[in-house]
Amino acid sequence: MNNTNPISNYSILILFTILSFSCKDEPTEPAPPVNNTETVFFNGKIYTVNSGQVWADAMYIKDGIIEFVGDNDSAKEMAADGAAMIDLEGGFIMPGIHDVHLHPLEAATDNFQFIVDDSVTDPEEYANDVANAIQENPGNDWLLGWGHWIDVPLEATRSPKEIFDDVAPDRPVAIMEQTSHSLWCNSKALELMGIDNNTPNPPGGVIMREADGEANGILIDNAGNLLLDLALAPTPERAQNDYDGLINFALPELAKNGITSICDARTYWKREHQETWKRIAEKDKLTVRANLGLWAYPTEEDASQLSTLKSLYAFDKNSLLKINQIKLYSDGIIHNTTSAMHDDYDIDYFELATNNGLNYFTEERIADYISELESTGFDFHIHTIGNRGVHEALNAIEQSGTTAGRHRLTHVEYVDPADYGRFAQLNATADAQVAGDFTQPGHWHDNDYLVGAALNENNVPLKSLKEANARVTLSSDWDVSSLNPFVGLQNAVTRAPQNLSLEDAVKAYTINAAYVMRQENKVGTIEIGKEADFIILSQNIFEIPNDQIGQTQVLKTYLQGELIFEK
């Protein structure tokens, strides 16, 4: 083989020998071994959320624990030889985001096989989606979809179930509405549920019917949940779908969005969701701190359900996974007239004995569950959208006679001003979701036709609650709304007259939420002694216009000092 290198091998040997000899008089020290247990982040803008030291230039981390927060030189001096030195070059750091209300397993699982186009308004066209889904998912098992709006089947000119019966006469089919508060199904699904003309409405639910009493295929709120309990009964295949969805989609999405702590807001223990989470934790694949909110089933007998819930409690302060919350619904939602209101709705969809919303759990029953489970260590996460739902949930917490529980009311879309101050009095947290455009002031009057204009002047009253000294947290309700916490932050500070300051909005996503998760002494701020959960962002959110916060990107996410996401 011809040597095409212009420098001969012999010349290279001579040059190497000369260089080696010339270096003998000036020996160099061997490079110290890389120290993977110590890291210094310096030359940055660190927003700590610690009122005693709000800003810092640098921090020193050892074995996942923050050992120093302050100036650059001091941080560097604390580190041993070989410690990783990361120059932030003016980059912005803040604590990891806490999202204390989201549905990661439900958002990620393949147990829902198809998604429909929510822009389609003709109910007859949805038969095409079902027909296509049947071709792509052959068999006789349940076929589940997601994504329509309740208005579509309500406006059908024939029984909504018949639209699906045309293409699926022998296979059970159901589509969950976007908010998860109703289902549209076919006759086969109703048959398997055992629903006939004499089947009563379940607690917190409505079986919609034709004039002759026959179910029409629209199942409202908890009536739809009963269908899903049947359709999603645990099997090895469904469990694997849940596991794969969390591992391959949900957990990476959380890290990508800078979220280091979450509360799974609806852990269906009958579907063995908690076992999927435990399996991930046991395999050391959990990349987020997770508190599970065990679902309280409205149709279950209380003594048996309470016993089961107690048996599932698990709180190890050293584990990323904790099972220490109860999720229950006081009411439904506003746009299908099931949120519990003090006054009647202006439209009557269901012709029930009352027209001021539904209760999944009554005030008395919520109080009994709190009384029974609070001593076990459970905190309650109570769905409340209507003003009556909020009022009754606060009453139930008050009946416990203690403020030891870290209970929270979530959504709080309609709150009677007389109840603002009760949150602080009862140590109850107001948890709100404002990442969705529908929560912005421009959409507040969309529901005037349901409850009148007067009630829609202060939807999700963040500022009023904060001024009444309530502890406020912000969360996503993913996948109902965007998972992106910076969209939530932007909306929270721009939704005047019910807006928060940016400082308070950040606290709502960090230290306030850490309190709700019983980990405020471990994370939620960047300060000495806490574990190193933090994020590096593309911009300093305190130095840009508020309407640009939503454009912020997460560059890196750290959990316990370990890099779990890098853009």
Please name which of 137, 327, 109, 111 lies closest in space to residue 232, comparing C-alpha atoms: 111
> Last residue of a domain, which of 231, 265, 289?
231
Same domain, 126 and 62: no
Nearest to 338 by CA among 372, 377, 384, 294: 384
Average pLDDT per consecutive 10 residues, the chain (567 residues; last block may be shorter): 34 32 36 66 98 97 98 95 95 98 95 94 96 95 95 95 97 95 98 96 97 96 97 96 97 98 98 98 97 98 98 96 98 96 96 96 97 97 98 96 92 98 98 95 96 96 98 96 97 98 98 98 98 98 97 98 96
How many domains would you assign to the chain? Answer: 3
Structural domain of 209: 112-231
The pLDDT of residue 11 is: 33
Show the tokens assigned to 384: 């409340």
At residue 500, the pLDDT reads 98
Predicted pLDDT of residue 403:
84
Q: Are 225 and 265 found together in one domain?
A: no
Burial environment of residue 33 by CB neighbours within 10 A (0 to 12, 13 to 18, 19 or more): exposed
Q: What is the pLDDT of residue 36?
A: 61
Cross-strand pairs, 205: 221
72 within some domain: yes
**227 shares its domain with 259:** no
16 occurs within a structural domain: no
Q: For residue 176, give the CATH number of its domain.
A: 3.10.310.70
Secondary structure (DSSP) of 267-330: E-GGGTHHHHHHHHHHTT---SEEEEEEE--TTS-HHHHHHHHHHH-B--TTSSEEEEEEEEES
Query: Which domain-ending residue is among 187, 215, 231?
Result: 231
pLDDT of residue 22: 34
Same domain, 84 and 202: no
Q: Domain check: are 410 and 264 in the same one?
A: yes
In a domain, 216, yes or no: yes
Do 408 and 276 share a structural domain?
yes
Q: What pLDDT shows up at residue 400?
A: 85
Same domain, 183 and 299: no
Bridging pattern class, strands 65-70 and 205-209: unpaired
Together in a domain, 250 and 351 = yes
Do 294 and 277 share a structural domain?
A: yes
Tell me whether residue 396 is in a domain.
yes
| Dihedral angle sign, alpha carbons of residues 112, 164, 187, 357 | positive
For residue 12, is it within any domain? no
Task: Specify the CATH number for the domain of residue 60.
Answer: 2.30.40.10
Clarify whether residues 407 and 422 are in a common domain: yes
Instruction: Examine the domain organization and report whether 64 and 118 are in the same domain.
Output: no
